[in-house]
Amino acid sequence: MTLSKASSAAALLDWYRAMGVDEAIGDAGIDRFAEAAAARAKPEPAPPPTEARQSSPPAGPRREFASLAPDEAVMDARERARGANTLEELEKALSGFEGCPLKATAKNTCFKRGSDEARVMFIGEGPGRDEDLQGLPFVGRAGKLLDKMLTAISLTEDDAYVTNIVYWRPPGNRTPTLQEVQACIPFLERQVELLDPDYLVLIGGPASQNLLGTKEGIMRLRGKWRDCEIGGKARKALPMLHPAYLLRNPAAKRQAWRDLLTLKTALEKTDET
């Protein structure tokens, strides 16, 4: 029995050496569980005084949401838009406008892309993530598809002018609210007046419904020329499926192609006269 205990002790020592133990720390064992329980029993320190908590460095500058009431925002937008006599002046007027809440959360204003001498004005819903980063409308996946669609009917950048019914990205790419659209519409209408294109193409449901003053869905509106009065002038507008919708529903590209052919036919007739 004694030999067995000695052998066990020797084996334990050998194991300690193998594990790197080369000295004894103390003769008495330490109850680590009791230490942990005693630490938990200590009361938590009181929070610092309010003054101390407020002494931390202030956060960086934060853009505030528009403080104008909806009616005031629309009146301000109309006044600024009427004062612009060129597209360049209109863009500058828009940059100083604070009446649309979307501006507070967007990185950039997306005024337009394309030629100021364009024959066709394409009007979409609103900027997305890529557009917000670059400050240009229709430059993401949907924009690239739109460019391919225009190339298919021989339209170049010199023939097209692209914008949206709102100039700042709605958070999460949601549909713009009525208040947001109404704040931007005076600038858009003036944009149409100053560009004075031969035709308008309304891309997607929100753009078509807001500019045509209807609640009809895009599937009923698309592919047919509609009258759209802007700036006291009746203009021909063609509602069309949004490229973002076509990316989600490739089978609808056949309908979009028919809409494009409708536009192409109108342009060819204009060239003949």
Counting residues of the chain whose pLDDT is more than 70, the rounded percentage is 77
Q: How much of the chain is in helix, strand and coil states, percent to nearest 5?
A: 50, 10, 40
Say how far residue 24 (Cα) sits from the centre of its chain.
Answer: 66
Q: Is residue 186 part of a domain?
A: yes
Selected residue with higher pLDDT from 26 and 119: 119
b (16+ CB within 10 A) / e for 83-96: ebeebeebbebbee
Domain presence at residue 244:
yes
Which amino acid is located at 7 in the chain? S
d(CA 4, CA 17): 20
pLDDT of 273 over the 80 cut: no
The pLDDT-based confidence of 1 (bands split at 50, 70, 90) is very low
Residue-range definition of the domain harbouring residue 170 = 78-272
DSSP-derived 3-state class of residue 217: coil
pLDDT at 158: 86
Q: Is 237 helix (H, G, I), strand (E, B) or coil?
A: strand
Structure tokens at 113: 């892309």
Q: Domain containing 106 — which CATH number?
A: 3.40.470.10
- pLDDT tens-digit series, residues 16-28: 565 555 555 555 5
Alpha helices (H) along 54-172:
70-82, 87-95, 129-134, 141-152
Is 34 within a domain? no
Under the banding of pLDDT at 50, 70 and 90, the label for residue 4 is low
Rg (CA), the chain: 34
- Is residue 23 in some structural domain? no
Are the C-beta atoms of 112 and 161 separated by less than 8 Å? yes
Looking at the domain assignment, is residue 68 inside a domain? Answer: no
**The pLDDT of residue 263:** 97
> Which pLDDT score is estimated for 177?
96
The verdict on residue 250 lying in a domain is yes
Amino acid letter for position 49: P
CA distances from 200 to 97, 184, 223, 228, 234 (A): 25, 17, 12, 9, 11
Count of CB atoms situated within 10 Å of the CB of 158: 11
pLDDT confidence of residue 17: 64
Residue 2 has pLDDT above 60, yes or no: no
The pLDDT tens digits of the residues spanning 145-169 come to 999 999 999 998 889 999 999 999 9
> Alpha-carbon distance 9 to 142, whole Å?
77
3-state secondary structure at position 120: strand
**Residue 202 belongs to a domain:** yes
pLDDT in tens, 173-231: 999 999 999 999 999 999 999 999 999 999 999 999 999 999 999 999 999 999 999 98
Backbone angles phi, psi at 203, to 5 degrees: -95, 110
Kindly report, residue by residue over 222-234, the tens digit of the pLDDT.
999 999 999 899 9
Both tokens assigned to 138: 């229709």
The whole-number pLDDT of residue 268 equals 94
Domains in the chain, number? 1
CA distance 81 to 93: 7
Domain-located, residue 110: yes
pLDDT for position 51: 45
Nearest to 248 by CA among 164, 166, 142, 156: 142
